Structure 1
Amino acid sequence: MNGTYAIGIDYGTESGRALIVDTKNGRVLATHVTPYPHGVMDKELPEGGVKLGADWALQHPDDYLEVLRRSVPEALRQSGVSADEIVGIGIDFTACTILPVDGANAPLCFSETWKRRPHAWVKLWKHHAAQEDADRLNELAVARGETFLSRYGGSLSSEWLLPKVAQTLREDPELFDATDRFVEAADWVVWAMTGTLKRNSCAAGYKGTWHKTEGYPDRGYLEAADPRLASLPETKLRGETIPSGTKAGELTPEMAQLTGLRAGIPVAAAIIDAHAAVPGVGVVRPGTMVLAMGTSLCHMLIADSEREVEGIRGVVEDGIVPGYFGYEAGQPAVGDMFAWFVDHAVPAYVRDQAAQKGESVFDWLGREAEAMAPGESGLLALDWWNGNRSVLADESLRGLIVGLGLQTRPAQIYRALLEATAFGTKRVIEAFEASGIPISVVAANGGIPQRNPLLMQIYADVTGKQIDIPAAEQSTALGSAMMGAVAAGIAGGGYATLADAAARMAPPVKQSYYPNADHVRLYEELYREYVTLHDYFGKGANESMHRLRKLQERAVESKR
């Protein structure tokens, strides 16, 4: 083919994907997906049938290597590209997904000694069994006035590194002592590919409470949490942290043989999957917010400075694009909330009518909802079906629909849920703009924006912003491939900066949605009512949601 190509490897929750991209124009030549053989382990370990407790979510590290064994050679074969034409490799990964390793960087779960111990395995990002530890760490940080909490919306999530490490120490101190280092699975895969273990700034900053200037939380805080954690940054979290997308190492001869590539190919430091979508849709400078929309929604943008923003879930220097501060906020239920309604609350007659018309229930609801004007449903919802991530950072909050009556029909409820997620995003945008970070355009990425034009028009009308839909179906893997091209550098057939790579490789805008002035005015009225409910139930004036949650927990416990 006589060209230069990069590989982007996207590690998701259930599978990994390899993408081969032309570095001259971003054209995707081939892609291949490998489902993880062990999937998500949430019931028992694969060794010895050891049962797992509630809210556990583990993975097998060899599944990540299986992606390299299967998807990389197959994508290479499909593309018709020769191994000599691949100039760089980048990877993105779910986070915080961590594993304990020994002094040789071998996962402890590979050892006969430890493989029947749950804490020896990879803790997937959605492992929530460390909530007790997260609560304790948050209470301590608040009591001590720790300033690092302000970078994370005032609290650490049970999904993040420190709570997961603390859970390991509390429940299996012997294994904690045997752990040489706790590492992100992303960094471990890069080590497996290059023989060099470096921590990526994205996962370290957003999920590991690392700061480029301040490092990890100070010794006094960690020692107060547990004396055995006092030296954690210098011991079990040691290692150089480098910006995501910069060169971490080169492909080893052993890994070249495994993948069918050539030895010496530059490999970039990893990045979190959602964050890879920012350059993947062409955003490498301030001014545009990227929405990674799927089951949940991640709001990301870059700025020139670090500011305190209400309810953000992380601000990291070099966290997304080197040279800028990357910000993250989020809504934990978007597609999941719509799916809940269709799966559990739509009556049979809707399914029957959709079937008669030969369309999906979603399409039927969307067609009916599109015929309504803003406010016509008479309903208003709070989008907290899975708690609130931003700006309230309260996972125990739950959803609400106001205005239900005997005349209410399913399409009206569906539209209210669509609008609720748009109101939640507007609240996030307002938090950024109130802190002096302007947002001129919103780029919506993922499967939902491609399939749901009604939702995208509602987002434009509610936010008052232009909503661009990039023509990229696999923007996370594409963003990783861009980083692989940057790791190669100009001399290696790639690019000097991520901005240079994006200028040639980023996809065009497929479609843009513009605010309808009449709808904007109507939604401004509805949004004021949304904020009233948001603050009333979310800021302490009414604790009903919290009390209901506690009553539910007590009732469930009483039945055991």
Structure 2
Amino acid sequence: MVGVDFGTLSGRAVVVRVADGAELGSAVHEYAHGVIERTLPDSDVRLGPDWALQSPQDWIDVLRVAVPQAVAASGVSPEQVIGIGTDFTACTVLPATADGTPLCFETPSRPHAWPKLWKHHAAQPHADRINQVAARRGEAWLPRYGGKISSEWEFAKALQVLEEDPEVYARAERWIEAADWIVWQLCGVESRNICTAGYKGIFQDGSYPPRDYLAELNPDFVDFPGKLATGQVGDTFGGVRLAPLGGSAGTLSATAAAWTGLPEGITVAVGNVDAHVTAAAADAVRPGQMVAIMGTSTCHIMPSDQLAEVPGMCGVVRDGIVPGLWGYEAGQSAVGDIFAWFVDTFVPASYHEQAGEMGMHAYLTSLAAEQPVGRHGLIALDWFGGNRSVLVDHNLSGVIVGQTLATKPEDVYRALVESTAYGARMIVETFEKSGVPVEEFVVAGGLLKNPFLMQVYADVLRRPLSVIGSEQGPALGSAIHAAVAAGAYADIEQAAAVMGRRTEAAYVPDPARADAYDRLYAEYRALHDHFGDGRLLHRLRAIRNEA
């Protein structure tokens, strides 16, 4: 099987043996355009604050470059590959024509014609209105999203396009998640997966929000669900099937076979989200197993056999992680991005000289790890990319309290690490207070390579951390889904048990440090509640945007 993970800055492919999940070869392709945040490619057209776009050409190049390289590295003959699965960041969404052509290919000078990356937060005012109107009307779907729809999701981003560039909105015959668009390119058949439709597209209990609600947002928004073209699972709406996870979307087309070097006609799995497929890679697809995929941001996903309303969650969707269970999602908008921002912006040159070949993150980590808990005297709020859960407000911003003239870079670095752990504890506690127990906390993603950070999380959470057994969690998870789609396994649970892996209780909390962190977490909660109303932070952001 081949699994392809489309990330924020790069795409990676892995070749996996169906019999045991062994990873035989992998390759990474860095996106030529990366994250488009300031100006459009090959243009002087500037973007506004909080914009984040991507180029579909980068995604196609992953298929052309990374997949053949991974197969070559594996020593496996292309003819031995029986299926391919893919996953994507979400909500990464694009406007396209009815045949799937991205509008940015036709009008590259129009910012709203480009795909909006998951961390495009410029639609926050539109999300605010979506939530205000829904709350006033008592829309039944709103509690399924913790009481608030994020500015990262499909409806807020589409409403922004409608109201800021109605011509692009009118030309967009499809508003489609990149997770589904890439599958369309692979097999030539348009489909929509139940995961992104539910979590990112407000599709609940077989329908979208009602027309009169959409009309109240904007009269021209009333037919927006027609651009999503999804209906009941297995049924069609607008001629497009809403497909269950682990299902087959079709077979590899001749065009995609030429791109990838794989045989035409092999199975193409239904699209999915990077975080959600990772649960299978960690063999964490049973109720109560929360998987935190920790990278530039963190997504927390967990299957459950019960439905509850969890304040500030990203969503709960039936069959959203594995068929037959409710799937919960929450998240933190920035984690690794916070550490990278600090290192890139605020560390003095003398530290870079001292770090040498060790690298700045490793050097700061080594200095921070020498401190006892609380020595730096700081508390930070992890809102440098806004707050995804539990406040669902991307106009919030980061806060650091307690700095003095004696504060050093390693102090701030440790406080930022701890702040993300406090944010994760807030999420776990919110789930458990809502009657959804977290039985096991499983970590995946690039940040698990930092043992100090993992130990901080174990101490702050006061619980053991299990860790995934693969450095390519999403790509492995996509390969597992492809194995199910190709018929090698009966369902995702069976495939995950054989092909997925994790180490239980790899990090265990230290009681003394955990007690010390309890005191600091109480201060974090106080700071969280004080600034969480957004009044001060919103005013500052408005002043910045005006300037």
Answer yes or no: is the 8 Å Cα contact 2:282–2:468 preserved in 1.
yes
Within 5 Å, give how 1:237-252 maps onto structure 2: 237-238=229-230, 239-252=240-253
Partner of 2:234: none
Measured against aligned partners, the alpha-carbon deviations of 1:331-381 in whole angstroms (never above 9, x if no partner) come to 2232222233333333444444444xx633333332333233323333322
Partner of 2:328: 327
1:228 corresponds in structure 2 to 220
Residue aligned with 2:82, SS:
strand
Consecutive unaligned residues in structure 2, runs of 5 or more:
231-239
Q: Helix, strand or coil for the counterpart of 1:291?
A: strand
- Distance in 2 (CA, whole Å) between partners of 1:43 and 1:347 is 26
1:443 aligns with 2:438: no
Give unmatched runs, 5+ long, in structure 1: 1-5
Name the stretch that deviates more: 520-529 or 264-273: 520-529
Shift of residue 496 of structure 1?
0.9
How do residues 256-295 of structure 1 correspond to structure 2 at under 5 angstroms?
A: 256-295=257-296
Partner Cα distance (1:207, 1:515) in 2: 35
Contact 1:440 1:465 in 2 (8 A): no
Checking the alignment, whether the CA contact within 8 Å between 1:194 and 1:251 is kept in structure 2 is: yes
Q: Counterparts of 1:10 and 1:71 in 2: how far apart (Å)?
A: 10
Secondary structure at the counterpart of residue 58 of structure 1: coil
Q: Which residue of 2 aligns with 1:3?
A: none
Instruction: Give distance in 1, aligned partners of 2:40 and 2:372.
Output: 52
Within 5 Å, which residues of 2 pair with 1:298-447?
298-355=299-356, 359-447=358-446
Q: Deviations over 1:192-228 (max 9, x none)?
A: 22222110112111211112x1421111111112222
Question: In terms of Rg, which structure is larger?
Answer: 1
Is 2:2–2:81's contact at 8 Å kept on the other side of the alignment? yes
- 191-200 vs 370-379, which deviates more? 370-379
- C-alpha displacement of 1:45: 4.7
User: How much has 1:426 moved relative to structure 2?
Assistant: 0.9
Name the CA distance, whole Å, in 1 between partners of 2:118 and 2:330: 16
Q: Give the Å deviation of 1:145.
A: 2.6
Cα deviation digits, residues 400-440 of structure 1 (max 9, x gap): 33333454443333332222221111111100111111112
Distance, in Å, in 2 between the alignment partners of 1:377 and 1:100 is 48
Aligned to 2:467, what secondary structure does the other structure show? strand
Equivalent residue in structure 1 for 2:160, among 167, 175, 182: 167
Q: Measure how far apart 1:116 and its partner are.
A: 4.7
Distance in 2 between residues matched to 1:81 and 1:430, nearest whole Å: 46
The 3 A distance-change label for structure 1 pair 426 and 125 is closer
Which residue matches 1:147? 140
Which region of structure 1 is more displaced relative to structure 2, 25-34 or 503-512? 503-512
Distance 1:115 1:80 in 2: 40
C-alpha distance 517-37 of structure 1, shift in aligned 2 (>3 A): closer
Q: What is the TM-score of this pair, normalised by structure 2?
A: 0.91
Match of 1:9 in 2: 4
SS at match of 2:85: strand
SS in 2 for 1:340: helix
Structure 2 CA distance for partners of 1:100 and 1:334, relative to 1, 3 Å: closer
Aligned mates of 1:38, 1:342 — CA distance in 2 = 22
Q: Which amino acid aligns with 1:126?
A: K
Q: Is the 8 A contact 2:459 2:510 kept in 1?
A: yes
Assess if the C-alpha contact under 8 Å between 2:282 and 2:501 holds in 1. Answer: yes
- Rounded Cα–Cα distance in structure 2 between residues aligned with 1:172 and 1:411: 45
Distance (whole Å) between structure 1 residues aligned to residue 103 and residue 359 of structure 2: 46
Residues 504 and 379 of structure 1, relative CA distance in 2, 3 Å threshold? same
Whether the 8 Å contact between 1:470 and 1:511 is mirrored in structure 2 is: no
1:10 counterpart letter in structure 2: D
Q: Where does 1:101-140 land on structure 2 (aligned, <5 Å)?
A: 101-111=96-106, 114=107, 116-140=109-133
**Contact 1:198–1:242 under 8 Å retained in 2:** yes
TM-superposition CA deviations, 1:250-294 (whole Å, max 9, x none):
222443344322232111111111222221222111222111112
Q: Which residue of 2 aligns with 1:206?
A: 199
User: Is the CA contact 1:332–1:388 (under 8 Å) kept in the aligned structure 2?
Assistant: yes
Q: Which amino acid aligns with 1:64?
A: W
- Residues 1:422 and 1:119: Cα distance change in structure 2 (over 3 Å): closer
Helix, strand or coil for the counterpart of 2:141? helix
Query: CA-to-partner distance for each residue in 1:131-172, whole Å, 9 max, x for gaps?
Result: 443333233223323232323333323322112222332233
Question: Alpha-carbon deviation of 1:52?
Answer: 4.2
Shift of 1:187: 1.2
Aligned residue for 2:476?
478
Q: 1:399 to 1:86 in 2, by over 3 A?
A: same
Number of the residue aligned with 1:81: 76
Corresponding position: 1:532 with 2:530: no
* Residue 215 of structure 1: aligned partner: 207
C-alpha change, 1:546 and 1:225, in structure 2 (3 Å) is: closer
What RMSD in Å do the two structures reach over aligned CA positions? 2.5
Residues 1:406 and 1:174: Cα distance change in structure 2 (over 3 Å): closer
Aligned counterparts, 1:6-85, within 5 A = 6-45=1-40, 49=43, 51-54=45-48, 55-85=50-80
How many angstroms does 1:93 deviate by? 0.9
* Deviations 1:27-71, CA, capped at 9 Å, x for gaps: 111112233344444455558x47243144433333322322232
CA distance in structure 2 between the partners assigned to 1:161 and 1:311 by the alignment: 17
Are residues 445 and 406 of structure 1, via their aligned partners in 2, closer, same or farther at CA, if it must alter by over 3 Å? same
- Aligned positions, number: 537
What's the TM-score, normalizing by structure 1?
0.89
Q: 1:438 to 1:193 in 2, by over 3 A?
A: same
Rounded to whole Å, the distance in 2 between the matches of 1:178 and 1:196 is 21
Does structure 1 conserve the Cα–Cα contact (< 8 Å) formed by 2:187 and 2:252? yes
Q: Which moved more, 1:373-382 or 1:182-191?
A: 373-382
* Alignment check: 8 A CA contact 1:471 1:510 kept: no
Of 462, 479, 491, the match for 2:460 = 462
Percent of matched pairs sharing the same residue: 48
> In structure 2, do the counterparts of structure 1 residues 50 and 218 end up closer, same or farther at CA, with 3 Å as the change threshold?
farther
SS of the aligned residue for 1:20 comes to strand
Q: Distance in 1 between matches of 2:387 and 2:39?
A: 30
Paired position in structure 1 for 2:233: none
In structure 2, distance between residues paired with 1:80 and 1:533: 54
1:504 to 493, 498, 502: 498
CA distance in 1, matches of 2:351, 2:101: 53
Structure 2 residue identity aligned to 1:522: A
1:271/1:320 contact within 8 Å kept: no
